[in-house]
Structure 1
């Protein structure tokens, strides 16, 4: 099979909740489920980004240098990445909703541990635990949406779910900064953990009465069959490599934002949070315009435009602009990122429909492995070559990645499919 082959699998689609579909092919109760899934994504996005504006405060509190405290991002992202494939397989076999509920409760408990951490070692352990335990939230929520929404409408549905995650980024970073500036960084962890519990209650209520899962035995042959189904699709290598690169060269910059601003005399955590929130605002622009973008540009030009915007955003961070202009830079970066990433997610959801939870989890795993490695790559680059050359390299890699995706990712529609 060539690299341009269809991303469709011959595996049967998993069963969907309830047996009666609405006139547009979407099962009843889907809107309610997607709203609850969106709340879960909002909660997990707070876990992801709440630390970034806090780096200088935590460093001061524990008497450490910021370069060491930046590793809190890796402490979360690396275990988050490594745990996702296993949780995706568990979701495909033992039930996606079950994994989602356990992930929300357990990650909340680990978040509260971080709020009372007596030293940096305990805080680091807390971030590792939150990374492992929350790893089932994002991929499982997207997999549930993939089970419910037909492929021709999936990019729009995913765009709206991503909007919930982006709202967490928009609110989370500046909110974390405000709380840190008033009651300290510990209050940030306590608030985020509390919101995860709220999301758990919403799942308990919102999913009640809906048969969302098909369950089977969780054993090694079943798990390995799922991996084979996903990885034998020739498009998998392009999808997973691309999101890994995005994680390294886009998200790897985020932990350095507060440090860059502090070096220019702006030490307020809330300002660092507002700048980072610009990325999510760019994502909101994507989410609000995704039907128009897909219809007018098509997937190929959308991916190429995303790569160009990411390259402009990353390279512009080296200019040392005043923080209001940095917000605009991160808006451009966010719009570019989601333009490429949103298309890739649709392809990932169709790599192997019967193992959709695993496929999406592997996507998340590669993405967060990139996020875990990103701060280390940039730290070495900044120390050895400087900020300008390092960000320029990142920009060129992202642009090349988008061009490869635009050339290689192709989907042959099923009979009856229409453009999203």
Structure 2
């Protein structure tokens, strides 16, 4: 079975250029991604400033995840109703205000509430971005275009999270959120100037949960849940492990985030290869590869250098897995793409909450090395679910 992105005339006509809009969407992902990932590395300092334990502070990350999940599932239909461009701009405006509130939070409950609001905004913004990415992608450049947009996660790691750890060490964690609010304002201005548009707004929309009836959606969402719960569960506490168990500074967490971002970004140069493979088979294989990286990470957790090496390949494998997952979900039903992407974002951030909470309890009871092993088990579940999604396709091209 050939990938849907392969065309018989591919050799006869040169591939179109990646649209500038893809780079604008990349920036939007970077701003949202920075907030999604920034709390883990700076959590020890936030905990000290509020006089609380690190797992308590990470409830703010969980609140962000719950807010994102609720908005993505319940409000995803607005993307198809009002258009992805308008909903993205409105969501970015609310998101920026929530970041500013996080910067001045006088107590932990206020920070948690502000992050919940940020999650509500992100829950609409992320599926809007993925919907726009699929809409602006030229023929035979789908994987490359989505890869560019997903590179925003690289920017969030390299420029956002890594710098935030250094910034927290130098001037305090509040400046991290203040800087993020400024970056959010810039992303909003770019989105307004680009006048990003997706498909025309629909006159009526069905319940977002109706998209669950699309063939292949449910097993892919289960795979997404295992994939994301494993990532956020490990990521949330690896910084605390380096700080407390290995005695390293917060700047060391910044280097770790940079290393992950470099791995994630390096994979973008190979995204074009995805279109040459059967994505239905490629996705389970990538999930298994991510699981293998987790096993190596658990064995290397006592060494900072070896952990950095494992984290680089973690980013590399995660990029491929995420790219193909978005491709497969986005191609299942173009007419309900906004709702499907909303479900994807909802599951992603529900997994953030569950992964952070469950892995936090496990981390408190044992040690960090157990977390990557648990994550590897979830990746096995993800691979099996992705394989089931392919079999349910019954030979149709779903990638």
Do these two structures clear the TM 0.5 threshold for a shared fold by scoring above it? yes
- Residues 168-207 of structure 1 show CA distances to partners (whole Å, capped at 9, x for unaligned) of 1222111111110111000000011111110111111111
Deviation at 1:299, TM superposition (A): 2.5
Instruction: Tell me the residue number matched to 1:239.
Output: 220
Instruction: Tell me the residue number matched to 1:200.
Output: 188
Task: Give distance in 1, aligned partners of 2:71 and 2:307.
Answer: 34
Alignment gaps of 5+ in structure 2 = 5-12
Q: Is the alpha carbon distance of 1:127 and 1:366 closer, same or farther for their aligned partners in structure 2, counting shifts above 3 Å? A: same
Q: Is the alpha carbon distance of 1:53 and 1:383 closer, same or farther for their aligned partners in structure 2, counting shifts above 3 Å? A: closer
Higher mean alpha-carbon deviation, 135-144 vs 380-389, is at: 380-389
2:201 is equivalent to residue 215 of structure 1: yes
Note the 1:142-221 alignment, pairs <5 A: 142-149=130-137, 152-207=140-195, 212-217=198-203
- Given that 1:243 and 1:366 are in contact with CA atoms closer than 8 Å, whether structure 2 keeps it comes out as yes
Task: Give distance in 1, aligned partners of 2:72 and 2:201.
Answer: 19
2:273 is equivalent to residue 273 of structure 1: no
- Given that 2:220 and 2:329 are in contact with CA atoms closer than 8 Å, whether structure 1 keeps it comes out as yes
Instruction: Tell me the residue number matched to 1:394.
Output: 375
The alignment partner of 1:135 has SS state of helix
2:361 is equivalent to residue 371 of structure 1: no
| Matched length | 387
Deviation at 1:255, TM superposition (A): 1.4
What root-mean-square deviation, in Å, do the aligned CA atoms of Structure 1 and Structure 2 show? 2.7
Note the 1:306-345 alignment, pairs <5 A: 306-319=286-299, 320-345=301-326
Instruction: Tell me the residue number matched to 1:412.
Output: 396
Deviation at 1:54, TM superposition (A): 0.8
2:31 is equivalent to residue 31 of structure 1: no
Task: Give distance in 2, aligned partners of 1:272 and 1:211.
Answer: 37
- Given that 1:247 and 1:369 are in contact with CA atoms closer than 8 Å, whether structure 2 keeps it comes out as no
Note the 1:59-208 alignment, pairs <5 A: 59-149=47-137, 152-207=140-195
Deviation at 1:250, TM superposition (A): 1.6
Task: Give distance in 2, aligned partners of 1:211 and 1:333.
Answer: 33
Higher mean alpha-carbon deviation, 391-400 vs 156-165, is at: 391-400
Deviation at 1:246, TM superposition (A): 1.0
Task: Give distance in 2, aligned partners of 1:289 and 1:25.
Answer: 16
